[in-house]
């Protein structure tokens, strides 16, 4: 038999992948205003209901070679990718936090960030339906995470919402058009509720660095002189910054302080 910790690690990954399967439904349906509970999953090409054995996270995609089991229409690689990312998130959180209330808290937080990121990539919006309840729900971080205090939650929400609001206001006054969506403001307030004021500054800094690199990478292939003002969503980069903080925030901050 396997040692118990390996068994729990495998179960964490499987659990995460199953939640990832549900996140796919949220990502696909929520921006369209559809219910996320009914009707059950069906193929968008042939409308055939998908039985559970064709709906196993990651495995079904591999067995069906990326095609619908009925009409052979191609299935987007995005579905198993979201399941894989969520599985790895659960696995990483188990190794970092064990089976603790903090682990449950950060897994739910990470899952919401995954949904937010892919919806933002597809539609350039962050649904209020996720961020506003998120601000309230993740304000309970001080109950689940030992090092979080209520005062830190309060400052996290205020700083997260406030900083980006001021940036957006400033940008609007200078350029006379909206540069940053209100969705990003509410997202960073939600991240502040979960990680505190330190997490907000870390997320904003790393998110901006990744966002700049991502922006440069997106512009590189054209090589033309015309200025491409492609709108690059900020949500996924803020989400990566927030997850980075949850896993390695303290050591990275220490390393940075020593570096200075």
What residue ranges bind Zn ion (CB under 5 A)? 43, 45-46, 68, 70-71, 73
Distance from chain centroid for Cα 199: 15
- Looking at beta carbons only, is 29 or 67 nearer to Zn ion? 67
CA dihedral 14, 144, 240, 5 (to 10 degrees): -30
3-class secondary-structure state, position 215: helix
- Looking at beta carbons only, is 41 or 100 nearer to Zn ion? 41
Concatenated DSSP letters of 91-147: HHHHHHH-SSHHHHHHHHHHHHHHHHHHHHHHHS---HHHHHHHHHHHTTHHHHSTT
CB of 115 to Zn ion, least distance (A): 24
CB of 112 to Zn ion, least distance (A): 30
Rounded to whole angstroms, the Cα distance separating 246 from 109 reads 10
Buried b (16+ CB within 10 A) or exposed e, 110-130: bbbbbbbbbbbeeeebbbeeb
- Looking at beta carbons only, is 46 or 209 nearer to Zn ion? 46
Q: What is the DSSP letter of 67?
A: B
CB of 74 to Zn ion, least distance (A): 10
- Looking at beta carbons only, is 72 or 129 nearer to Zn ion? 72
CB of 154 to Zn ion, least distance (A): 50
CB of 71 to Zn ion, least distance (A): 3
In the structure encoding, which two tokens stand for residue 146, read together?
């030992």
CB of 80 to Zn ion, least distance (A): 16
- Looking at beta carbons only, is 70 or 165 nearer to Zn ion? 70
- Looking at beta carbons only, is 11 or 71 nearer to Zn ion? 71
Rounded to whole angstroms, the Cα distance separating 51 from 225 reads 51
């Amino acid at each position: 038999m396997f040692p118990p910790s390996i068994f729990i690690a495998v179960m964490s990954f499987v659990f995460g992948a199953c939640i990832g399967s549900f996140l796919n439904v949220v990502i696909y349906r929520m921006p369209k205003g559809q219910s996320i509970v009914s009707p059950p999953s069906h193929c968008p090409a042939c409308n055939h209901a998908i039985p559970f054995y064709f709906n196993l996270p990651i495995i079904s995609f591999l067995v069906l070679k990326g095609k619908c089991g009925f009409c052979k229409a191609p299935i987007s690689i995005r579905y198993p990718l979201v399941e894989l990312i969520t599985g790895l998130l659960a696995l990483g959180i188990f190794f970092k936090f064990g089976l603790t209330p903090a682990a449950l808290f950060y897994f739910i937080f990470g899952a919401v960030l995954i949904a937010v990121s892919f919806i933002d990539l597809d539609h350039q919006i962050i649904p209020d339906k996720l961020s506003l309840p998120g601000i309230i729900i993740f304000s309970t971080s001080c109950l689940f995470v030992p090092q979080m205090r209520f005062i830190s939650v309060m400052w996290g929400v205020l700083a997260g919402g406030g900083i980006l609001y001021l940036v957006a206001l400033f940008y609007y006054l200078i350029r006379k058009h909206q540069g940053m969506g209100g969705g990003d403001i509410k997202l960073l307030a939600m991240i502040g509720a979960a990680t505190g004021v330190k997490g907000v500054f870390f997320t904003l800094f790393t998110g901006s660095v990744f966002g700049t690199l991502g922006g440069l990478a997106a512009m590189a292939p054209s090589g033309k002189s015309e200025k491409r003002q492609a709108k690059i969503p900020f949500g996924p980069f803020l989400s990566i910054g927030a997850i980075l903080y949850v896993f390695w925030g303290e050591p990275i901050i220490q390393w940075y302080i020593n570096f200075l």
